[in-house]
Amino acid sequence: MASPSVIFCGLSLILGGSISSLLAQAPAVVSPGTSKPEATSSASNEAVAVPKKAPKKARVITLQMAEGLRFDPPRLEAQPGESLQLEIQNTDVSHQPHNFVLVKPGMVQEVVKAAMEMGETGPNKGFIPEHQAVLASSGKVVDPEGKVQLKFVTPEEAGIYGYVCSVPGHGMVMYGALYVGVQMPSLAQDKNIPQLTLEKGLVGGGRRPFVQRIFMPEAGPAPIAVALPGTLNYCFDAVSCRIRYAWSGPFLDGTRHWRGSGRDMAELGDAAWWSAATPLIRFGSGKSDMNPEAQFLGYALKEGLPEFHFKVGKQEVFQLVRAAGNVLEVRFRLPQVKAKVLVVQDLSVVLKCPDAVERKGQMEVPANKAKEFSVFLERKDAPPNKDTSAPVSKNFHTHTP
């Protein structure tokens, strides 16, 4: 799903000049092919002027009714008296009907309440109440995968006009704001749109270190994402009890996962530079292909960094990952080590284990060092170790339109 803020980037505003009409009197049109073309409710307001006809060329804006009870984009911008043509599409993959109701400033929840009061007449009227604050509407509910076109001229009076889905149970969270002749605040500062929309973007809001359990690509159903101080991030798999991959730059975007019911995975801030095929260390003779079962036991936060605790067969393991510039240090603690400890040879990265010695072509950690040792990893084409502030990759959501 596109970032809501992206959609109106490319739209140029038509300056309304002196042409003006109050929205309430503008013709709201429901497109042909829908059940009943409906005129705008003739809301009576003593301040109403004679309606002006909408100019022929209306600016076309696509507005989606999207998964997670939300409008996408969550806010729109227009000039007073501007002619708009909304292409409203119900793309909600959870297959729910929605409606669209544009209301006077500050009246979103009043109209939601009025819709609740419609009782059994609600379904027939698309849950659109006859209320003086209603300026325009979809006229009916838009069924899943359905579309409705709505043309209107924005009010002459500058203001922040709310739009909402007044289907019962939806209106508390499914609303947005049409800014008419009013400067939009930054998305993060905008109090006129739902909080869920505000919080899109970085998991942890950019805090480092940060730990988040969430569905992630290529990591099984129980991954744990860790943002380290600096720029490095890694994914620990709590099923196989090993690091799956590491990436640099922004941490994770959890929006898609959290907005839905958990169907979508979080997205990495950048492509992984290391994907591990096996655990970093293994125990035993090295001849056996036996892969003893791993059992995850949890983690403790040490200055915010998780030290994972697990068992591989009978061997208890503690593993804490730190970052030094572009180098990942994987610190192992093996309090009761009995078996031989072998470090994997992974040629896809620069891998070092100063405590290991080479024996019969294998990297082995001697018994006297095995209680605590580190494995260091660095990407092969690593840029020189410089500024540690996170670069923002192109495919990552940003907060400003």
Residue of the chain from 16, 122, 139, 269 that contacts other proteins (CB under 8 A): 122
Contact map string, positions 63 to 92, toward other proteins, x by CB under 8 A: ----xxx----------------------x
Binding part of the chain for other proteins, among 2-10, 114-122, 155-163, 377-385 by CB under 8 A, reads 114-122
Q: Terminus-to-terminus CA distance in the chain, angstroms?
A: 15
User: Is 222 or 350 the residue whose CB approaches other proteins more closely?
Assistant: 222
Does position 117 interact with other proteins (CB under 8 A)? The reply is: yes
Nearer CB in complex with other proteins: 16/122: 122
- Tally Cβ neighbours within 10 Å of residue 296: 17
- What is the phi/psi pair of residue 379, to 5°? -70, 150
DSSP 221: S
Which residue is it, tokens 């907005």?
Answer: 259
The tokens 């007073």 sit on which residue? 80
Stretch that binds other proteins, among 16-24, 154-162, 294-302, 380-388 (CB under 8 A): 294-302
Q: Identify the residue among 1, 184, 214, 350 touching other proteins (CB under 8 A).
A: 214
Alpha helices in 343-398 (DSSP H): none
Burial 216-227 (b: 16+ CB within 10 A, else e): beebeeebbbbb
Give the C-alpha separation, 269 to 254, whole Å.
Answer: 10
Match 């509910």 to its residue by tokens. Answer: 141
- Give the CA distances from residue 101 to residues 136, 177, 245, 331, in Å, rounded to whole numbers and listed in that order: 6, 11, 46, 57
Q: Residues 122, 112: contact at Cβ < 8 Å? A: no
279: tokens are 């655990």
| Per-residue mark of binding to other proteins, 336-375 (x: CB under 8 A) | ----------------------------------------
* Residue among 263, 262, 281, 266 nearest 200 (CA): 266
- Is residue 176 part of the contact set for other proteins (CB under 8 A)? no
Q: Does 263 bind other proteins (CB under 8 A)?
A: yes
Q: Which of 17, 106, 298, 335 binds other proteins (CB under 8 A)?
A: 298
318 sits near other proteins (criterion: CB under 8 A): no
Among 211, 214, 205, smallest CA distance to 227 is for 211
Among 7, 116, 324, 344, binds other proteins (CB under 8 A): 116
Identify which of residues 14 and 214 has a Cβ nearer to other proteins in the complex. 214
**Binder to other proteins among 71, 127, 163, 234 (CB under 8 A)?**
127
For position 95 contacting other proteins by CB under 8 A, the verdict is: yes
Q: Which residues bind other proteins (CB under 8 A)?
A: 67-69, 92-97, 113, 116-120, 122-123, 127, 141, 167-170, 172-173, 195-196, 199, 204-205, 210-215, 219-222, 224, 238-239, 254, 258-263, 296-301, 306
